Structure 1
Amino acid sequence: MISKDALFAISLFPYLGFLWFISSSKLMPRLALYGFYGTLVFVGITIPAGIYAKVHYKEALANVDWLHGGAELFLTLSNILIVLGFWKAVKQLKAKNSPENTQA
C-alpha cells in the first residue's frame, strides 16, 4: 500500500502539468491563474509547517491550531483569487455579449 506522504508527493506532478497547460493555453483568467499558482504556495508552506509541528510539538499539523490556520490561510487566499478571476471573466463575457454590444 502506498503511504499518504508518497501519494501527496506523486500528486504534485499532475498538478504541475495542469499549471503548465493552463499557463500555456492563455485561456485562463489571469487572476484565477494566480490563484492556482497560489495553491503551490500553500503546499510549500504546509510541508515545513507540518514538519515543524511534528518536531517541535510532536503533533500532526492539524492538531497545532496556529500553524494549521496559518497554512490554511494561503489555501483560502488562493481559492478567493480563483473565484474572483472566474467571476470577473464571466462578468466581462456577459458584458461583451449583452444586447447593447451586439450588432443587428
Structure 2
Amino acid sequence: MITCVVEYVVDPSKIDAFERFGRRWMELVDLHGGTHHGYFLPSEGASDKALALFSFPSLAAYEQYRTLFGKDPDFIEADRIRDESGCVLRYERTFMRPLLPEHAEG
C-alpha cells in the first residue's frame, strides 16, 4: 500500500470552494481504485494549511489513476473548481507507506 499525503496552502477566504474541490476528489479517488482518508482543514492555528490523505494498493495502481489527469472529463471538472476559484495557492505531494496497528493490518 502507498499513501499520498498532499499538503496544501489554501486561501482562507475561499475555504468553501476548497471543500467543494475536496469532496469531488474524495469521490474520484474512491471510484478509481483508491481509498480516500479525507481532507483535514484549518481549525485552530495556521488558517491556510490543509492536508489530504489517500491510499492505493500499490504505486502501479496510483500511476494508473494518474493517467486520467487532464483526459477524463470528471478529473478536468474537479481541477476546474480549484483553478477557477483560486482556493489552492500551492501544494506538495509526498508518498508514504503506512505503519498500522497490527490488528488493522490483518
Please indicate the TM-score interval, normalised by the length of the shorter structure: 0.3 to 0.5
Which is richer in helix? 1
Under a length normalisation based on structure 1, what TM-score does the superposition of the two structures give? Answer: 0.36
Q: Bigger radius of gyration, 1 or 2?
A: 1
Give me the TM-score of the superposition, normalised by structure 2.
0.36
| Larger RCO of the pair (alpha carbons < 8 Å, separation 6+) | 2
Q: Which has the higher strand share?
A: 2
